Amino acid sequence: MKSVKKFSFIVSFLVLLALLTLAPAAVSGAQEADRVYINGVVYTVDKDFITASAFAVKDGKFVYVGDDSGAQAFIGPLTYVFDLEGKTVIPGLHDAHVHIRYGERELYPRIPDIRPGIGEWASVERMQEVIKRCLATGEGMRPGPEPRWLVLSGWMSDVWDPPVFRKELIDAVAPDNPVFISRYTHGSGANSKALELAGITRETPDPPGGHIKKDQNGEPTGEFVERAPSQLTRLIPPLPPMTDYERSRNLVEGTQLAIASGLTTIHGASMTGYEEVQRRIKLYDVGLLRIRINEMVREDAAKKLGKPLNHNDKYFIRSVKAFADGALGSRGALFLEEYSDYPGYRGEPRQSEDEIAKSATELLKIGFNMRIHCIGDAANRTAIDAYERALNATGLDGKNARFALEHCQVLTAEDVPRLAELGIVASMQPLHATEDMHFAESRIGPERLKYAYIWSDLLDLGVVVATGTDYSVSPYNPFYTLHAAVTRQDRNNNPPGGWIPEQAMTREEALRAATMGGAYAMFAEDILGSIEIGKLADFVVIPVDYMTIPAEDIWKIGPEMTVIGGEVVYTKPVQAQK
C-alpha cells in the first residue's frame, strides 16, 4: 500500500511538472480521480449557474465537472465511484457572520436562555416559568451572598401584548432576588430588586453607550438599551472563566453541528483575539477542527499578526470586526432621525467616522480590511464615509479592499448606490428580516423601511451579498437562511405572500449569496464557493431538488452528506431497524 502511495505521489509530481512546463492545451488529458460522483443533479453555482450530473475529485479538488459519460475518463482502478441516485448536490454553504464562541449556548449552556429554541420567542408566561424554575433549582443563579443574582437571556418583548418589557413582569415571580436578563440581541432588562440594589432611580442619568428607559412618569421601566449601567452590572458575580478544554470542546463540537447542517465555511464575527487565534491554529494542526473558518479579528490582533493569514486553506484571517452602532430591536441602532416609536432618541453610536477611517487606512496598508456592524442608516453612512476615506487615502479600489457592512440593515436612498461604487460587500442575515418584521415598521416607520433589508435592490445594483445568521441571535441552519431569503416568511409561512416580497431573492441568488457571496467576502472566490474545476471540493448532498421543491419546504432540507476538501466530514446517521 505504501509503495502505491509513493508511486502515485511520484506520478502526481510528474503530472505537476508537466502542468508547469506544457502549454494549457496539452493538460486536458484525463487523470485518475480519487472519487467520481455520477447520476446527480449538480448545481455548480458557476458564473452561468450550469447544472451538471457528475464530477470528479482528486487530492481534495474538483478535477472534472460535467456529464456522466465525460466522468468515465477519470475512473481508474483505485477510483471510488459514488452513484448519487438522482440526488442534488450544491456547493458547500457559507455562513458569513456567526459567533462561534457562543457555540456552547446550545451544547453546554452557561446562561439559561428563556427561548424554547434559538429563533423562537418566549412569551411572558414562559419567561416567568423559567424564572420560577431557576429560583427553585438554583440553575442560572450566581454564587455570592443572599439575595443571590439570577442571570438569564433571550427575551423579545415585541411579540408580547402590550409589546413592552417592564420590571413588574419579573417582580411578580421574583420579588426578593435580583434578576438580570439580556435581550436576544443587544440590550437587557432587570427587576425592581436589581434596580434597588444598584441604586437606579428616576434621577439616574444614562450610562455611556447606553440608555435607561423610563415611562411617561419618569420611572425606570427596567429596560436598558445597549449598555446596562455599570453600577448594576458590577454587582453581578461573574461566571468562572472557561477553561482551555471547555473552549476547545465547544468550538469543535459546535462546528461539527454546523457541518451536519451543511456549512463548510463560517465567518467568525466575534472580534477574536491573538491568543485565541493561536489556539485555533493548534486545533487545526491536530485535526480537531474540520470546518473552514474565516476569522474577523480584533484590530490589535491583526496588527500583531502583521499580515493576513491563510493556514492550509482552512483558517483564514484578513478582516477586522468593529461596531458602528447597536441593534434595531433594542433601539441601539443609530439613525439620522429619531425612532418612530421612541421620540427624541436616535440610538447609540459606537465608533466615530474618524476612528473608523483611521483604523481602516492603517489596516489596508498591512493587507486587512474591516467588516463593521451597521444596522441604522446613520451607522451605515458613518462606515461608508469612513471606507471611502480609507480608499482615497490608500489609492486602492473597492474590489481590492472589499470592506463589508455587517447586517447593512437600513440604508438611505442616497447611500444605496455607494455600496456598488465603493465595492462594499453587504453581509446580511435573511433571518433577521423575518424576525425583525414584528417590530421594524413601528421602530422606523414606512418611509425608512423602503431602504431596509433590500437584498434584491442591492443584488440588482451588482453589490455582492453574502448571507449568514449571526448565530446565536438566529439559528445557524443554512437552509433556514435560504428559505427566508426566497420567501421572506418565517417557518410557519407567515406573513402570507412574504414580508415586503419584492425584496426576496430568487433561488439562484439565494444559493449564490450563501456560497460565492461568502467566498468573495473572504477573498477566496478562486478556491471556494462553487463546483468548478480547480476549486477545493466542498459540497453538500441533499435528498431533494432545492431549485424545484415548494419554497415553503426549503427550510426542511437536511444534508445527507457534507464534504470538505474532498473528505466526507458528515453523513446522515442511518436509522437502525427495530
Cβ(352)–Cβ(329) below 8 Å = no
- The one-letter code for the residue type at 156 is M
Using CA atoms, how far apart are residues 403 and 51, in angstroms rounded to an integer?
Answer: 32
| Residue 442: CB minimum distance to Zn ion, A | 23
Report how far residue 225's alpha carbon sits from residue 210's, in angstroms, rounded to the nearest whole number.
Answer: 6
* Distance (Å) of CA 277 to CA 228, 313, 476, 519: 29, 15, 22, 20
Nearer to Zn ion by C-beta: 269 or 378? 269
The residue among 439 and 471 lying less far from Zn ion, judged by its C-beta, is: 471
Where do contacts with Zn ion occur on this chain (CB under 5 A)? 269, 470
For Zn ion, which is the closer residue by CB, 318 or 407? 407
Minimum CB separation from Zn ion for residue 429, in Å? Answer: 8
Q: Is the dihedral of CA 238, 244, 245, 249 positive or negative?
A: positive
CA proximity to 268, closest of 471, 113, 93: 471
3-state secondary structure of 241: coil
**From the CB of 531, what's the least distance to Zn ion, in Å?**
29
Cβ 113 to Zn ion, closest distance in Å? 16
| Grid cell of 294 as nine digits | 474565516
What is the closest distance, in whole angstroms, from the C-beta atom of residue 373 to Zn ion in the complex?
A: 6
Query: Considering beta carbons, is residue 200 or 372 the nearer one to Zn ion?
Result: 372
Helix axes 244-260, 274-285, angle to 10 degrees: 60
**Residue 226 or 470: which CB sits closer to Zn ion?**
470
Q: How many CB atoms lie within 10 A of CB 307?
A: 10
Least CB distance from residue 98 to Zn ion, whole Å? Answer: 8
C-alpha distances (whole Å) from 366 to each of 25, 247, 272, 373, 549 are 38, 30, 18, 22, 46
**Least CB distance from residue 471 to Zn ion, whole Å?**
9
Of residues 40 and 468, the one with the C-beta less far from Zn ion: 468
Q: Burial level of 499, CB count in 10 A (0-12/13-18/19+)?
A: buried
> Which residue do the cell numbers 421602530 mark?
443
CB of 321 to Zn ion, least distance (A): 8
Nearer CB in complex with Zn ion: 322/437: 322
| Closer CB to Zn ion, 361 or 472, in the complex | 472
Which of residues 45 and 428 has its CB atom nearest to Zn ion in the complex? 428
Nearer to Zn ion (CB atom), residue 156 or residue 269: 269
CB of 95 to Zn ion, least distance (A): 11
Q: Look at residues 376, 362, 381 and name the one whose alpha carbon lies nearest to residue 320.
A: 362
| Whether the Cβ atoms of residue 392 and residue 386 lie closer than 8 Å to each other | no
The residue among 388 and 470 lying less far from Zn ion, judged by its C-beta, is: 470
Which residue's CB is nearer to Zn ion, number 140 or number 268? 268
CA distances from 433 to 264, 430, 504 (A): 24, 5, 10
Residue number with CB closer to Zn ion (179 or 269):
269
CB of 367 to Zn ion, least distance (A): 24
Stretch (H or E) spanning 154: strand 150-155
Adjacent-strand bridge partners of 124: none
Sign of CA dihedral 202, 204, 205, 209: negative
Q: Calculate the alpha carbon distances from 45 to 42, 90, 263, 265, 386 in Å.
A: 9, 8, 16, 16, 33
The distance from CA 135 to its chain's CA centroid, rounded to whole angstroms, is 34
Rounded distance between C-alpha atoms, residue 89 and residue 54, angstroms: 10
What are the Cα distances from residue 111, in Å, to 116, 256, 381, 470, 481?
14, 22, 35, 18, 26
Closest Cα partner for 236 from 150, 160, 303, 128? 150
Q: Among all residues, whose Cβ is closest to Zn ion?
A: 470
Burial of 344 (0-12, 13-18, 19+ CB in 10 A): exposed
Task: Supply the minimum distance, in Å, between the C-beta of residue 26 and Zn ion.
Answer: 49
CB of 173 to Zn ion, least distance (A): 31
Shortest approach of Zn ion to residue 561 CB, angstroms?
Answer: 29
